[in-house]
Amino acid sequence: MVGTLATLAGLLYTIRQVRKTKSSVEAAREAIQSTETKILGKALIADASNVLRYIEVVQNHIRNDELLAAQIRLTDLKSQLGRLEHMVEDKSAIQRILRESHMLEEMDFELFRSINQNMNNELDKSSFYKNLSSLSLFLNKLIGKEQYRKGREIDVRQ
């Protein structure tokens, strides 16, 4: 009789410990997921901010007829934008990034053509500014959405 009670008590204790462990594992999993989401959100904002800086640099190089430097920075810009595609969860934003990447490819080709044919004067700078400004506006909205989603302001220039 005493052995049966001890066995029953041991069984109840074991069940209780298993439930505690299960709760702890679930809490740890939620904490990991929350931390991962925060890290990805900050990385998204940082990468989008880098793209914004590259846009400014490319615009300045084009303004100063430094087409080779503009093409080099445009390559950096395309690379950074490609990273964003894998960080964004919103399907419409991913589609927009893909369209913008295609537009950057066309701009890269136009710069290449202008450089190789010494056609600085024939480069349509206004279309470059317009396209880059549109990309900049999109990225600022993406950063704003991410900040709103996180529920707090994050300094983009950090």
**51: alpha, beta or left, given left = phi > 0 and alpha = psi -120 to 50?**
alpha
Candidates 119, 136, 104, 144; CA nearest to 67 is 119
pLDDT at 40: 75
Give the pLDDT of the chain (158 residues) as one tens digit per residue: 777 777 777 777 788 877 777 777 777 777 777 777 777 778 888 888 888 999 999 999 999 989 999 999 999 999 888 888 888 877 888 888 888 999 999 999 988 888 888 765 677 888 889 999 999 999 998 888 877 776 654 444 44
pLDDT at 121: 63
Q: What is the pTM of this model?
A: 0.68
Total domains in the chain come to 1
Residue 83 located in a structural domain = yes
Supply the CATH number for residue 44's domain: 1.20.120
Residue 155 located in a structural domain = no
Structure tokens at 23: 């709760």
Helix (H) / strand (E) element for 107: namely helix 91-116
Range of the domain at 71: 2-150
Residue 158 located in a structural domain = no
